[in-house]
Amino acid sequence: MAISVRGLTKRYGDLLAVDDVSFEVAEGEFFGILGPNGAGKTTTLELVEGLREPDAGEIRLLGLKPWPRNSALLPRIGVQLQASSFFDKLTAREQLETFGSLYGVSKGTAADMLELVGLADKANTRENKLSGGQRQRLSIACALVHDPDVAFLDEPTAALDPQARRNLWDVLRAIRERGKTIVYTTHYLDEAEILCDRVAIMDRGRILAMDPPATLVRGLDSATHVLLAQGTLPVDQARAIPGVDDASEDGVSLSLATHDPGPVLAALAERGTLDGLQVRSATLEDVFLNLTGREYRA
């Protein structure tokens, strides 16, 4: 096990930031902690990294205790911080070289990291001249410059535009292929569904569910929704199609709910009403709604 956490609790005054949290992360696993802002994701990460002292509970990181500051552990973990945590006025390469030197990493290795995160052409650009996505990638490169066994990434894709987010996903996948254990937090459920081997859904300091994303979604036993343009088919006819549990209109689309989409789609194809058809199956957002009884708000 790369990480093993049992009964972790952290309180800030009246606020129970982390409430009896337990989980394990296997070596080489891409583990996501999801939840809205204020769910306790960052605090959990900081406790595991050894930046804060837990009020209760036990943490083993690579078999060692992270608190108090454990110098034997530090070279083996990499922590990505906020996008702005850089030295003043240094270029991308100089940032990597300086952070690398803290771990005794050679200049050449540091420069190679730019390649991994796709910033080789920005080596001589000052950090403050990089775009948000580039800075985020540089920040990840700085966290991984010493080739750690476990990488902690705290909301690496927050505040990025969709294109930059997708570029970063490629970087994260590349890191994972190097066999690293990655623990990452996000409030984008769709992203976690794509990237993570396993996710823990957190809300108000507690872990509500923990499994591979597909398992969580399937466990919902929720209906698949087939959407057609409104008016393609009268509602009562739609309801009569075998396999359709329910049909409804919202003014724009006709929505058919089904647990057996195959025959329903075949029946629609027979009627020649497949134009503009969309199929929407349950997502982690539905899982969150089911677990908390409220809509997901990042």
Helical axes 107-116 vs 162-177, angle rounded to 10°:
130
Whose tokens are 């689309």? That residue is 253
**Smallest gap from residue 52 Cβ to another protein (A):** 9
The partner residues of 224 in beta bridges, in order of sequence, read: 258
Nearer to another protein, 47 or 201 (CB): 47
Nearer to another protein, 30 or 99 (CB): 99
When asked if residue 81 is in the footprint of another protein (CB under 8 A), the reply is yes
**Smallest gap from residue 69 Cβ to another protein (A):** 7
Give me 23's structure tokens: 């989980």
**Smallest gap from residue 164 Cβ to another protein (A):** 21
Angle at 1 between CA 216 and CA 85, to 5 degrees: 85
* Member of 71, 179, 275, 293 binding another protein (CB under 8 A): 71
When asked if residue 77 is in the footprint of another protein (CB under 8 A), the reply is yes
* Member of 1, 36, 60, 103 binding another protein (CB under 8 A): 103
When asked if residue 111 is in the footprint of another protein (CB under 8 A), the reply is no
When asked if residue 84 is in the footprint of another protein (CB under 8 A), the reply is yes
Between residue 125 and residue 154, which ones bind another protein under the rule CB under 8 A?
A: 142
When asked if residue 88 is in the footprint of another protein (CB under 8 A), the reply is yes
What does the DSSP assignment read for the chain?
A: --EEEEEEEEEETTEEEEEEEEEEE-TT-EEEEE-STTSSHHHHHHHHHTSS--SEEEEEETTB--TTT-TTTGGGEEEE--TT-S-TT-BHHHHHHHHHHTTT--HHHHHHHHHHTT-GGGTTSBGGGS-HHHHHHHHHHHHHTT--SEEEEESTTTT--HHHHHHHHHHHHHHHHTT-EEEEEES-HHHHHHH-SEEEEEETTEEEEEE-HHHHHHHT-PPEEEEEETTSS-HHHHHHSTTEEEEEE-SSEEEEEES-HHHHHHHHHHTT--TT-EEE---HHHHHHHHHSS----
Nearer to another protein, 35 or 148 (CB): 148
Nearer to another protein, 33 or 79 (CB): 79
- Rounded Cα gap, residues 271 and 40, in angstroms: 51
* Member of 69, 231, 272, 297 binding another protein (CB under 8 A): 69
Nearer to another protein, 18 or 209 (CB): 18
When asked if residue 14 is in the footprint of another protein (CB under 8 A), the reply is no
- Please choose, out of 21-29, 31-39, 70-78, 129-137, the segment that lies near another protein by the rule CB under 8 A: 70-78
When asked if residue 87 is in the footprint of another protein (CB under 8 A), the reply is yes
Nearer to another protein, 85 or 224 (CB): 85
**Smallest gap from residue 86 Cβ to another protein (A):** 7
| Spatial contact of 118 and 171, defined as CB atoms under 8 Å apart | yes
When asked if residue 99 is in the footprint of another protein (CB under 8 A), the reply is yes
When asked if residue 34 is in the footprint of another protein (CB under 8 A), the reply is no
**Smallest gap from residue 89 Cβ to another protein (A):** 4
Nearer to another protein, 71 or 163 (CB): 71
Give me 132's structure tokens: 């948000």
Task: Give me the residues that bind another protein (CB under 8 A), please.
Answer: 49-51, 69, 71, 74-75, 77, 79, 81-82, 84-90, 94, 97-99, 101-104, 107, 142
